[in-house]
Structure 1
Amino acid sequence: MSNHATAAAGSAATTHATTTSASPESGPPESGPPKPAGRLPLPALLALATAVFVTSLTETLPAGVLPAMSADLAVGEAAAGQSVTVYALGTALTAVPLAARTAGWRRKHLLLTSVAGFAAANTVTAVSSSYALTMGARFLAGVAAGVAWALLAGYARRLAPPHLQGRAVAVAMTGIPLALSLGVPAGTFLGAAVGWRVAFAAMTVIAAGLLGWIALAVPDLPGEPRGGRAPAARTLKVPGVLPVLSVTFALVLAHTVLYTYVAAYLDHLGTGGSTGLVLLVFGAASLAGIWLTGRHIDRRLRVLTLAGTVLVAVGAAALAVPAGSTALVLVAAALWGLGWGGAPTLLQTAVADAGGDAADTAQTMLVSLWNAAMAAGGLAGGLLLDLLGAGALPWSVLLLLVPVVAVVAGARAHGFPVHRRPA
C-alpha cells in the first residue's frame, strides 16, 4: 500500500494499502493471552507497525534512489521506476488468490512467512547487477506485501478490545508515515553517501530483526474457517463497497504518478538537491495526518476523506507552479503529506464498514485494487515523463482527483456516509 501500500495497505493497504484486512477475521476461539479490557497491547501492535514500515519502505524506497538506481542498472529513470510497478503487480495479482489459499493458516506463521519474503527480496535487490533479476526480486517483494496487507489490519483489530479496535489499526498503520518521514529520506541519504544497494541491505537487516520481535511479542491467532469468505461478485453488490474501491483506485493512482517520479520532477524544477528534505517534510506531514485521522475517524470519516483529497490537490497545484522555489516546494509537500497520511486508514475503515459480513473479502479486494493503481501509476508516470516531460506529472494528479471528490461527496448513504456505522 503503500506508498505509498499501500496497500496495501491498504492499507491497505492497508495497506498497503498500507492496504490490509480492516475487519475482525472470523474463526474458532482465539488462542493466546486474553485481550486487555481497557488498553492496547502496544508491544504486539508496534511489531505490526514495524511490519507495515518494512512493507511500505520496500515499496517506496526506489522513489528516493531512482537516479542512482537507474544509472547502476544501466537503464533510464522511467525504466527504473517500473520497480514500483512490478512490486505493485506482484501484490495486485496475488493478494486475492493467496488470501484464499492461506485463509486457514495461523496468523503468526503467515506474518513470519511474509516478513521472511521481504528479507529475501531485498537481499537479492541489494546484490543484483541485472535489471531483469532486480525486477524479479521486486515482484517477489510485492507478493510478500500482498500476504502482509491482507492480514495486518485485521490482526491488529483482533488483538485489541472492541472499543479500541480502530485505534489499534491506527497504531499499526503508523508504519506507513514513518516509512515516508524517516525511511525514505534515510534511504535517500544512504543512497547518496554509500550507494543505493546499502539502503536495500539495511532493509534486510530490519526484516531479520523483526522476525525475532514477532516471534517473541505477537500472540498467535487462528485463521478463518473453510468457506468463511464471501464471493467477490456478491461483495461488489454490497452498497458502499464499489464507491470505496473506485475512490481507492483513483486516489492511489494520482498519488503514485507523482510520488514515484518526485526526484525527476524536482530535477525539472531545479531543486533536485532537496529531494531528501522534500521527502522528509512529506513524511512528517503524513505522520501528522494519520495522528489526526486516529483521533477523529470514529466521528469524521467522510469529512477527513474529503479534506485529505483536497489537501493532496492543493499540494499538487502548488508543485505545478514552476517557481523553482524550495520553500514553495516544501509547503506543497507538507500539504500533500498531510492529506495523504490518513488515506490508508480511512479507506480500510470505509470498506470494512461498508462490507459488513463480507468485510474480509472487500478488504482483500481493496488491497489488490490499491496495488493495481500503484502499478498503473508507475507505468503512467513513466509514460508521461517520456512523452510530455516531468511538468505534466502534477497536472495529472489534479485531473485524477476530480472524480475522487465527486464520488466521496455523492456516497452520502453508503461508502462515505454522513453518519458512520462502524463494522
Structure 2
Amino acid sequence: MDLANTSNQASGGAEEGVKEANWSGVFAMSLCAFVMVAAEFMPVSLLTPMAAGLGVSEGAVGQGISMSGVFAVIVALSVSSLAGKLDRKKVLVALTGVMLVSGVLIALAPNYLVYMVGRALVGVALGGFWSMSASAAMRMVPMDKVPRALAIFNGGNALAMVIAAPLGSFLGALVSWRGAFMFLVPVALIALLWQWIKLPSMPAETQGRKLHHIFRPLKRSMVAVGFFATALLFMGQFTLYTYIRPFLEGETGVSEQLLTLVLLMIGVAGFIGTSLISSVLKGNIYRALMAMPVILAICGVALVQFGDQLGVVLPVLFVWGLVATSAPVGWWTWVSQSMPDDAEAGGGLMVAIVQLAIGLGSTVGGVLFDHWGFESAFSVSAALLIGSGALALLSMGISRRSSAQPAQMAAS
C-alpha cells in the first residue's frame, strides 16, 4: 500500500475517533510545558548564588543545562519503546511526577552531584513529554484542531521563556535560589493532578516497538528532508539568539535596565506569535514553513547592517520573537500531518533533532562570535535559516508528488 494513502487513512481515522475537543486536557499539558521549560531555563538567572551555595564554579552549574539536554535526547529516542503497552496518559502523568521530584532534588540539593541528578531528571521529563505531545494532541482534539492544540502547548513554553529568567531572579533575591526552584513544585503538582483528572485514556497505538524503529520514518524522503529543515531552523535560530545579549550590550549599547525590557519584549512577542500561529497554519502549511525561516534570516541580516541603531534593532527583534517562538508550532503540526500513523516516533525524532540542533547552533555561534564577531555568527545564522526555507520547499514538492502518484495510478 502507498505510504501517502496510509497516512491519509490514518489521518481520517484519527479525526473520526475524536468527536469533541478536550481543551481542559490540552491546557493541563500546557501548564506542564510551562513548568518544564521554566525549570530548564531558571538556572540561567541564578548561576551566581547557585554556584556559591553548591561550592562550585558558575560554569559547573551551567553544565546542568547541558545535562538536561543530553537526557532529553536519550529519552526522546527511547521513550516510545520503553513505554511499551502502557497507557500514554499514565506515562505523561509519571513524567510530570519526575518533573516534580527533580524540583525537590534541586531545591534541597546538599551537593553538586544531587543537583546534577535533578537536572538529569529535568531532561527525562522534557524529552518524554515533548515526544508524546503531538500524539496526545491528535488524541484529544479533531485533526483540524491539532495546530491550535499544539499552539496552546507551545503557549506554555513561550510564557515560561518570558518569565523564567526574571521570575528566577526575583524569587532568588526574595527567598533564595532554593526557594525559587521549590516554587515550581506546587505548580508541577497542580499540573500532575489536572492531567490525571482531565487527560483521556490513551492506549498504546503500537505494540512491541524496537528501539531502532523510531528511525524508520526517515526512510521516507519527505520526512527526512522535513527533519533536516527543522534542524537547520533551530541551528540557525540559536547561532544568533544565544548571543543576543552580548550583541545588544556591545554593538547596540543598551543599558542593563533596557536589556531586561528588550528581552521581555522578545518573549512577549513570542507569546503573541504562538497565539496567532494556528490561524496561519490553516492554509498551506508549507508556505508558512518556508516563510518563517526566511523572515528570521532577514532579521539576522538587518541586525548585521543596522546593529548600532536602536530604532531599527527593537522592531527587528520584535519580529524575531514573533516568528521564532511560533515557528516550532509549524513543524510540530507538520509532524502530526506527515506521520499521523506514528506520531510518537515523529515526536521522539523531533525532540532529539531540536536538542542536538540547539546545542550545535549555540556552539558554532559561540566560536564565530568569539573569533570573528557578531557579524559572522549572525550571517551564518541567516544562511542556515535560508537553507531551512529551501528544504521546506523541497519537502513540499516531494509531498505533492507522493500525493499525485495514487491519483495517477487510479486514473490509469
TM-score range, shorter chain: 0.7 to 0.9
Distance 1:107 1:250 in 2: 30
Residue 336 (str. 1) matches residue 320 (str. 2): yes
C-alpha deviation, 1:69, in angstroms: 5.4
Residue 212 (str. 1) matches residue 193 (str. 2): yes
Distance 2:115 2:374 in 1: 25
Q: Which structure has the larger Rg over C-alpha atoms?
A: 2
C-alpha deviation, 1:304, in angstroms: 1.6
Residues 306-325 of structure 1 show CA distances to partners (whole Å, capped at 9, x for unaligned) of 22212322333344467556
Residue 247 (str. 1) matches residue 229 (str. 2): yes
SS in 2 for 1:412: helix
Residues 61-120 of structure 1 show CA distances to partners (whole Å, capped at 9, x for unaligned) of 34445566567665356x654433322111112212222110421122111111121122
Amino acid at match of 1:249: A
Distance 1:66 1:319 in 2: 29
C-alpha deviation, 1:299, in angstroms: 1.3
Uncovered stretches (5+) of structure 2, i.e. residues with no partner: 1-9, 405-412
In the alignment, which residue of structure 2 is the partner of 1:296? 280
What pairs with 1:121-200 in structure 2 (closer than 5 Å)? 121-128=102-109, 130-131=111-112, 133-191=114-172, 195-200=176-181
Q: Is the 8 A contact 1:51 1:115 kept in 2?
A: yes
In the alignment, which residue of structure 2 is the partner of 1:8? none
Amino acid at match of 1:90: F
Uncovered stretches (5+) of structure 1, i.e. residues with no partner: 1-22, 28-33
What's the Cα RMSD here? 3.5
What pairs with 1:30-179 in structure 2 (closer than 5 Å)? 35-37=18-20, 40-65=21-46, 74-75=56-57, 80-128=61-109, 130-131=111-112, 133-179=114-160
Amino acid at match of 2:389: V
In the alignment, which residue of structure 1 is the partner of 2:346? 362
Amino acid at match of 2:168: G
In the alignment, which residue of structure 2 is the partner of 1:13? none
Structure 1 residues 397 and 123, CA, compared in 2 at 3 Å: closer, same or farther?
farther
Q: Is the 8 A contact 1:190 1:198 kept in 2?
A: yes
Amino acid at match of 1:102: A
Structure 1 residues 134 and 402, CA, compared in 2 at 3 Å: closer, same or farther?
farther
Which segment is superposed worse, 322-331 or 110-119? 322-331
Distance 1:126 1:416 in 2: 52
Which segment is superposed worse, 152-161 or 178-187? 178-187
Instruction: Give the counterpart of 1:236 among 204, 214, 218.
Output: 218
Structure 1 residues 391 and 403, CA, compared in 2 at 3 Å: closer, same or farther?
closer
Residue 313 (str. 1) matches residue 297 (str. 2): yes
Q: TM-score, with normalisation over the residues of structure 2?
A: 0.80
Q: Is the 8 A contact 1:35 1:161 kept in 2?
A: yes
Distance 1:315 1:418 in 2: 34
In the alignment, which residue of structure 1 is the partner of 2:269? 285
Structure 1 residues 119 and 337, CA, compared in 2 at 3 Å: closer, same or farther?
same
Residue 394 (str. 1) matches residue 378 (str. 2): yes
Distance 1:318 1:71 in 2: 40
Distance 2:246 2:45 in 1: 10
Distance 1:197 1:327 in 2: 39
Q: Is the 8 A contact 1:85 1:376 kept in 2?
A: no
Distance 1:197 1:395 in 2: 40
Q: TM-score, with normalisation over the residues of structure 1?
A: 0.78
SS in 2 for 1:54: helix
Distance 1:146 1:114 in 2: 9
Aligned length in residues: 389
Q: Is the 8 A contact 2:134 2:347 kept in 1?
A: no
C-alpha deviation, 1:381, in angstroms: 4.7
Which segment is superposed worse, 178-187 or 302-311? 178-187
Q: Is the 8 A contact 1:180 1:279 kept in 2?
A: no
C-alpha deviation, 1:144, in angstroms: 1.3
Amino acid at match of 1:231: H
